[in-house]
A and B are shown apart, each in its own frame.
Chain A
Amino acid sequence: MTRRPTGKIAAYTGVAALALLAGLALGRPELVAVAAPLAVLVVAGLTGTRDPQLDARVSVDRERALVGDEVTVELALRAATRIERLEVLLVVPPGMDGQDGGPGGSSLAPRRIGGPGGSSLAPRRAGASRAWAVAVTLGAGEERTLAIPLTCRRWGAYWLGDVHLRAHDRFRLFSWERRLEQPVPLKVFPLPETLRTLVRPRQTQVSTGSHVAAQRGDGIEFADLRPFLPGDRPRSINWRATARRGGLMVNQRHPERATEVVLFLDSFQDVRGAAGSTLDQAVAAAASLAAAYLRQRDRVGLVSFGGFVQWLQPGSGQAALYRLLDTLMETQVFATAAWKGIRHLPPRTLPAKALIVALTPLVDERGVAALFDLLARGYDLAVVDISPLTHAGRAGGDWGGLARRLWALERETLRHRYQRLGAAVVEWTDAVHLQQVLLEVEACRRRAGLAPG
């Protein structure tokens, strides 16, 4: 710990010295009597103060949580020597918060697991982050665990454990400071929304899944009748049709196949408002879509197209979901000059016959150009246009209103251009549920003849 003298030492010593000298010079014992307590206090502080021996450890009760969950950061303190006053300050990253306090903020009090007495914490604003701070007294050999409950307000990958400690001696002549560097990871996932209907891909893969393929083969859904051929299984014979037509007829069926879905996340720009941001919406939607597609045995991949390109090859199962969510948590707006001119996605990032669901605010021209490029390359593309207008807020004055209307018109024109090229585009405003948007996308694709059935 770094030891620092407080301003009290200089003040007390200076005043005591002057008073003693004045007492000596003027021959007044009263001045000596007045100065003596200050001098004695400084001498006692200088001779009796030792560096505090403190051991501190930070832990979090879990590694993964959902938005809205409460996690508990535990700070275990152990003092080998008595510490008169120990200030403990935990920096809470933006996106995490303490519990909403009731009257008097009583619910802000942390539970104490060990040691006598109780303590409470309170938040403070420190730029973007907040901090929880408490001052405790520790006896020699005393162990204390402070439990600090935090509520996860926003998805993301967090590092908790940025703790600052400041100890004071009995006379408050010195303070010792130390910063704990024990980062503990915590991943906060967005709450998955229940989606009953998803955007169906135009083409299916060869592997078995839940989608009725346009091809004919072994399956459940009836497709057509055809005359019996050598090699056909007897159980495929449709006896009623055979009786009507006078020759052996067999049923043809549509096989159930899996599809590959790639979630395209445009993270070039994030339009942030009071209620949230376009990137928050996009990540939450991507997580919900990934979980829903994986539930129906599809293979899901991810392309995060922003300051740099991150992609995950399509995979299936629970492992793929966790891999995908972990990648989603690292999504952020990342400005870099290296990828300034990027317009195209690397070809290997997107498998053939895959449905690409783009979640984009259509704000950055690189993201817009990349979608045009995908359409030109013949991909099956569905665009969910996350409206930045709701997050941008109302502009004041006539010019502000005019600019807003022009922006809305420009965005509408862009959507029409995509639609003319064969993509289904639906604007997602804040008030609409994702399920409703997906139904609109599906209807749009059906009108354009893109969706099966």
Chain B
Amino acid sequence: MPAPRRARARLACGLAATAVAAALALAPLTRVEGATREALAWLAGAALLLAAGAALRAPSLLAPALLALLAEYTVVLLQGGDRVDAAAPLVAAGLLLYAELCSWAREANPRVHDERRTLATRAIGLAASTLAALALSALILLAAALPAGGGLARLTVGVVAATGIITLVALVARPIATRARR
């Protein structure tokens, strides 16, 4: 495959990621009205810009783009009241799909040609992780809907989860670049 075609592969991944991000950014606008909608439109625009930048040009913008999309969704959630949002698994899967497509776009170096088997493995992995994200989010929502013995038990689960994630952050923060044995 010549280099221009491989450059197009990178562009295609970036554009696909941007399209997913656009869906994630614009869909919440349909669920709010009035002044909130106007304010959210600005946030959506910024999120979309960041998302496009992360997908097409600067991979370091991935975390800000994800946070902006998440912030927009949080605003919509808060506007929606106490009702559990059934679209959350879709948002979770969409966010993961966007992030993975960004990662793929970064990986699709025009100088390097991926053989067909590598591409197929990657595509299957991406589809599987998106479906798994969808299922996991749905399970969590279902678990949240179950009566779990009142607020204390739910709070305990939340504290344990928060402690776990802080431990994870500490694990990631330590230097993990190693020189393995040859």
Contact = CB atoms under 8 A, between A and B. Distances in A.
Interface of A: 1-24, 26, 28-43, 46, 51, 84-85, 87, 89, 101, 104-105, 108, 117-124, 131, 133-137, 168, 170, 172, 174, 176, 178
Contacts of B121: 84, 137
A30 B8 CA distance: 36
Contacts of A20: 161-162, 165
Nearest to A15: B66
A29 B141 contact: yes
B152 interface: no
Chain B, interface SS category: helix
B28 interface: no
Interface string B152-168: 00000011011001101
A135 B10 CA distance: 14
Interface string B93-114: 1011001000100010111111
Interface stretch (B11-19, B33-41, B42-50, B171-179): B171-179
A120 B113 contact: yes
Interface of B: 1-3, 5-6, 59-60, 62-63, 66-67, 70, 73-74, 77-78, 84-85, 88-89, 91-93, 95-96, 99, 103, 107, 109-118, 121-122, 125, 129, 132-133, 136-138, 140-141, 144-145, 158-159, 161-162, 165-166, 168-169, 171-172, 176-182
Contacts of A26: 74, 77-78
A105 B118 CA distance: 20
Given A7-B62, A122-B111, A135-B113, A38 B99 contact: yes
B93, B122, B125, B168: most-surrounded residue (chain A CB, <10 A): B168
A5 B93 CA distance: 24
Contacts of B110: 124
A130 to B, nearest CB: 10
B63 A11 contact: yes
A136 B3 contact: no
B76 to A, nearest CB: 10
Given A1-B182, A33-B88, 18 more contacts: A2-B178, A2-B180, A5-B176, A7-B62, A18-B70, A20-B165, A24-B162, A29-B141, A31-B77, A37-B132, A46-B172, A84-B121, A101-B2, A104-B5, A117-B117, A123-B3, A172-B107, A178-B182
A117 B73 CA distance: 44
Contacts of A38: 95-96, 99
B95 A17 contact: no
B92 A3 contact: no
B2 A176 contact: no
Given A85-B122, A87-B112, A17 B88 contact: no
B5, B77, B122, B165: most-surrounded residue (chain A CB, <10 A): B165
A121 B112 CA distance: 7
B95 to A, nearest CB: 6
Contact of A34 (B6, B73, B112, B176): B73
Contact of A10 (B63, B73, B95): B63
Nearest to B92: A34
Contacts of A174: 176
Contact of A29 (B63, B118, B140, B181): B140
Contact of B133 (A6, A17, A37, A176): A37
Contacts of A137: 115, 117-118, 121
Contact of A37 (B62, B92, B113): B92
A170 B126 CA distance: 10
Nearest to B63: A11
B2 A105 contact: yes
A8 B62 contact: yes
